[in-house]
Chain A
Amino acid sequence: MDALTLELLNGLSLFATLAIVALGLGIVFGLMGIINLAHGEFVMIGAYVAYVTHANGLSHWLSLPLAAVVLFVLGACIEVGLIRRIHRRPEVTILATFGLSICLRQAVELIFTKDFRGVPNPVPGATRALGVLFPTYRYVLIGIAVVVVVVTLLAFTRSRFGLTVRAIVADRDLADACGVRTGIANFCAFGIGAATAGIAGALVAPLGAIEPQAGLAYLPGAFLVVIVGGFNRLWGVIAGALVVAAVQTGVIHFYDAVWAQIASLALAVLMLQLRRVPVEAANP
């Protein structure tokens, strides 16, 4: 019974991490039709923001808003300087964001070297609940991630800006023809997508090594979530993260991590078969 509870908590923690990491990827793909292969680097840079915050003797919690701001600015600059020029050509954006991911890794390496960095856990120890001991910081992570994901999605679905953005998702051409400034909406969407990745990076920073290649580990899972959750539905990120976390946790529980990866891949292939209409649906 306790083993199962622990698995559930692990699954929940995986779900929260996947959801917040995939959130920005889903927003950018769903709203702009852009497959951003540099998304993992945004997460990695968020983790470095947490490292710099810690190195300057500041509280870890401060690094969450800081990472959001830094990554929003970086994302907005990338949108204006790069994405805007190519975003009607999906195959070019894939190449460009791939190149961008290399540049970002190299830039981080130049500044911080390849050395592994770390951030101490701001709330060490474990909490006993539901009959099991579970790291306290993971409870905090779950809470913050869920709040960030839900608030971001509500902002996109409930506000006037959200209406505009949803109009772009529903029918970009019609939105354009209504006079909606799809350019500004893209700018904000890309910036906000990057900002949530930054928060994700700062949030997971205390849990692992911070190094320039760290972002690579996040990309496949995030893509899987977006594929499973659906391309054109923002709330799909939550459903996708739930399914992926459940499958991975379940397979790890009954088999092992290797089979979990295989199962994830099979899930991705299956969902792609079922959905069919990826790129051109979002970006005619």
Chain B
Amino acid sequence: MRFEAHGLRSGYGSVPVLHGVSFCVAQGEIVALVGRNGAGKTTLVRTMIGLLRATGGQLRLGGADITRVPPSRRVRAGLRAAFQERSLFSQFSVGDNLRLSGHPPAEHGRVLGMFGESLAGREAQRAGTLSGGEQKMLAAASALASTASILLMDEPTEGLQPSNVGLLGDALALARQQGRGVLLVEQHLALALRLADRFVVLEKGEIVDTGTAGEAGLGDRLSGRLAL
């Protein structure tokens, strides 16, 4: 299954943010989406999952046009997102959050164990009372533990301690190994360079550069793009 965006446009009300974005994520690859704050990365993720309406262009999942399909059907078709913000129901328990994401109680132990001991046994705690990093891990674990074939991860390492960044990297690599496709929005180039197969640079709602892992001078080029 392949996820494709063709000339995707989107924005908020009358304010356009994405001005025709085209790229794709195939199964078995990690595509890093990098760009400065406000470049439109989150907007792109929210448009891909269907929370923002595409004002132009097309989205295709496994060949089928899903541009006008509601989010819940995209999810059932194999797409899954872990959002940068508001990624959990903060008033609900950790267990209820997992149930809502489609994980039956029998699976909760496995999902919560994905990041070592940090989340283990926290099912009854209210999600909003987890620390920022723990919330990110829970959202990431919930997406990774799903059966989705394409994962959209919006800055999953934000606020994570280095050891957990490592665990997350391993989990993403495993997802790729399982033949899933990952769009990884990432500010930390080191992790992106370590993991990703391909790179897409977004600037002011347009793709201004792309690259492939192992390309000569890629790291310098990307950090140049992200610098002021």
Contact = CB atoms under 8 A, between A and B. Distances in A.
A associates with B: yes
Contacts of B50: 176-177
Interface in B187-215: none
Interface residues of A, number: 18
A85 to B, nearest CB: 13
Majority secondary structure of chain A interface residues (helix, strand, loop or mixed): helix
B171 interface: no
A167 B81 contact: no
A180 B89 contact: no
Interface residues of B, number: 21
A4 interface: no
B89 A179 contact: no
B89 A167 contact: yes
Contacts of A183: 70, 72
A10 to B, nearest CB: 37
A266 B51 CA distance: 38
Contacts of B81: 177
A179 B76 contact: yes
A170 B93 CA distance: 13
Interface string A173-201: 11111111111000000000000000000
Contacts of B72: 176, 178-183
Nearest to A167: B100
Contacts of B100: 163-164, 167, 175, 178, 180
B160 interface: no
A171 interface: yes
The 8 closest A-B pairs by CB, nearest first: A179-B75, A176-B71, A173-B51, A178-B101, A178-B100, A179-B72, A167-B100, A177-B71
Given A174-B86, A176-B50, A177-B50, 8 more contacts: A163-B99, A170-B89, A173-B51, A176-B72, A179-B76, A180-B72, A182-B72, A183-B70
Interface of B: 49-51, 70-72, 75-76, 81, 83, 86-89, 91-92, 96, 99-102
